[in-house]
């Protein structure tokens, strides 16, 4: 299994970068004993609107991986449900790619290609914060799968 994060835009040094790095490091340490690999991150920086982004994203997507889009129209999952989904992909030895679009969202053709679309709630979040929230949820999922007390819901 491989886990990829493909995101539009470059995350520069600052609090968001520090949080993403921290949660992905925690995920790597917790996930190692669970058969969960470290997350590889690919940043796509393109000018020219959603169509140009879609082309660049399509080139960055690993072939054969389950595609999970982070989209306001997606399903709202509980953290235990998200952990179960991640555990199922691991058990099936299925690679997974999480896709975070740019400020204009994700091209409709890419949304249609998705195996799963996840919403982080009814509110719209800045795409840079979505990286932090996804990284934290990956760490939370690994903690849930490990039976650790991090998750208390």
Q: Assess whether pLDDT exceeds 80 at residue 139.
A: yes
152 confidence band (pLDDT: 50, 70, 90): low
For range 58-71, the mean pLDDT = 93
- DSSP notation for 13-30: SSHHHHHHHHHHHHHHHH
For residues 75 and 83, what is the distance between their CA atoms, to the nearest angstrom?
14
% of the chain with per-residue pLDDT over 70: 97
For residues 82 and 45, what is the distance between their CA atoms, to the nearest angstrom?
28
* pLDDT at residue 147 in the model: 93
For residues 150 and 147, what is the distance between their CA atoms, to the nearest angstrom?
9
* pLDDT at residue 30 in the model: 95
The 10s digit of each residue's pLDDT in 16-50 is: 999 999 999 999 999 999 999 999 999 998 888 88
Burial of 18 (0-12, 13-18, 19+ CB in 10 A): exposed
Q: Assess whether pLDDT exceeds 70 at residue 141.
A: yes
Q: Assess whether pLDDT exceeds 90 at residue 104.
A: no
Q: What is the pTM of this model?
A: 0.93
Q: 100 - beta bridge partners? A: 7, 70
The 10s digit of each residue's pLDDT in 74-85 is: 999 999 999 999
153 confidence band (pLDDT: 50, 70, 90): low
Place of tokens 């999970």: 68
Helices (H) and strands (E) in the chain, counts: 5, 5
């Amino acid at each position: 299994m491989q886990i990829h994060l493909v995101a539009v835009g470059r995350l520069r040094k600052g609090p968001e970068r520090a949080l993403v790095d921290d949660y992905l490091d925690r995920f790597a340490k917790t996930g190692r004993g669970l058969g969960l690999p470290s997350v590889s991150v690919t940043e796509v920086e393109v000018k020219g609107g959603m169509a140009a982004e879609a082309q660049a994203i399509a080139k960055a997507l690993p072939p054969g991986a389950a595609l999970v889009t982070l989209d306001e129209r997606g399903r709202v999952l509980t953290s235990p449900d998200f952990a179960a989904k991640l555990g199922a992909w691991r058990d099936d030895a299925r690679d997974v790619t999480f896709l975070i679009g740019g400020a204009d969202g994700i091209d409709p053709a890419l949304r249609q290609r998705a195996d799963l679309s996840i919403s982080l709630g009814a509110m719209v979040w800045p795409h840079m914060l979505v990286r932090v929230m996804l990284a934290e949820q990956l760490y939370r999922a690994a903690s849930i799968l490990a039976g650790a007390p991090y998750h208390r819901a």
